[in-house]
Amino acid sequence: MRLQNKVAIITGAGSGIGKATALLFAKEGAKVVVANRREDKGQATVEEIKKQGGEAFFVKTDVSIWEDVSNMVEKTIEKYGKIDILINNAGVVRFSPFDKTTEEDWNYILNINLKGVFYTIKKTIPYMINQGKGKIVNIASIAGLVGFEQIGPYCASKGGVIALTRQAALEYAKNKININCIAPGVIRTEMTGMLEDKQQLMFYQSQTPYPRLGEGDDIGYLALYLASDESDFVTGQTFVADGGWTIK
């Protein structure tokens, strides 16, 4: 198993990409800390992991609240004594034209998608420094690399995550802490509920050269490589998994 006895915190693991990653990591031997804002969803992920014979527990966490992030990390240390892997996956999106986007929209998106990543890294890194090793994977988006209409704060937040990844990776490479980023294209999850509309589905598929859209596991397997010892010499990078959206 590729993550035998590793302790992995995964934020937003109650659904979509985070849940797929949590199930995969548990199968590969990791003890998974399911951190989610919604308790019902987080607990459901823990139950599924246990059903498949894995080890996991849930911590109710809103990544935009410092006290919650502190509690998430402290509970992990209390239970497992270490943190090997942090997957910063929690994220939200709202659609609106730029001039109709409110300050509240901006703060909501940036606080979760970008400040949340700052908080979790800030709180986790001292433990990883002490351990002499660590793996952090930030889930950004191709919206941090190319423009998308109607999601200004989301694009800015994901561009920020990509920049923060490079910066933090540079600062902590000497501590053998690898910090990388994944930029997914369109993945079928709760976030992409618009795909239930046939016209929207056809539009997003038409923009994706590969003949299907993404699934949670498409990102989970890349996260697995970046969280495992196999990627020790890889840091500060952004890996695009988008079925070819950005190569056109």
Q: Which residues bind ligand NAD (CB under 6 A)?
A: 11-12, 14-18, 36-38, 41, 61-64, 89-92, 112, 139, 141, 184, 186-187, 189-192
Please identify, using beta-carbon distances, which residue of 3 and 72 lies nearer to ligand NAD. Answer: 72
Place of tokens 């240390």: 77
CB of 41 to ligand NAD, least distance (A): 5
Residues in the chain: 248
Please identify, using beta-carbon distances, which residue of 176 and 203 lies nearer to ligand NAD. Answer: 203
CB of 229 to ligand NAD, least distance (A): 24
CB of 174 to ligand NAD, least distance (A): 28
Sign of CA dihedral 48, 53, 59, 63: negative
Place of tokens 């730029």: 98
Place of tokens 């995964």: 10
Question: Which listed residue (127, 154, 172, 210) is catalytic?
Answer: 154
DSSP class of 150: T
CB of 39 to ligand NAD, least distance (A): 10
| Secondary element (H or E) of residue 129 | helix 116-131
Tokens in use for 219? 């990102």
Please identify, using beta-carbon distances, which residue of 90 and 169 lies nearer to ligand NAD. Answer: 90
Q: State how far the Cα of 98 lies from the Cα of 11, in Å rounded to an integer.
A: 28
85 neighbors 7 (Cβ within 8 angstroms): yes
Please identify, using beta-carbon distances, which residue of 55 and 215 lies nearer to ligand NAD. Answer: 215
The helix/strand/coil state of 141 is: coil
CB of 15 to ligand NAD, least distance (A): 4
CB atoms within 10 A of CB 179: 28
Please identify, using beta-carbon distances, which residue of 11 and 228 lies nearer to ligand NAD. Answer: 11
Beta-carbon contacts of 194 under 8 Å, excluding residues fewer than 6 positions away, are 200
Alpha-carbon distances, residue 88 vs 118, 174, 205 (angstroms): 10, 21, 27
119 is catalytic: no
Q: State how far the Cα of 9 lies from the Cα of 14, in Å rounded to an integer.
A: 12
- Cite the active site residues: 154
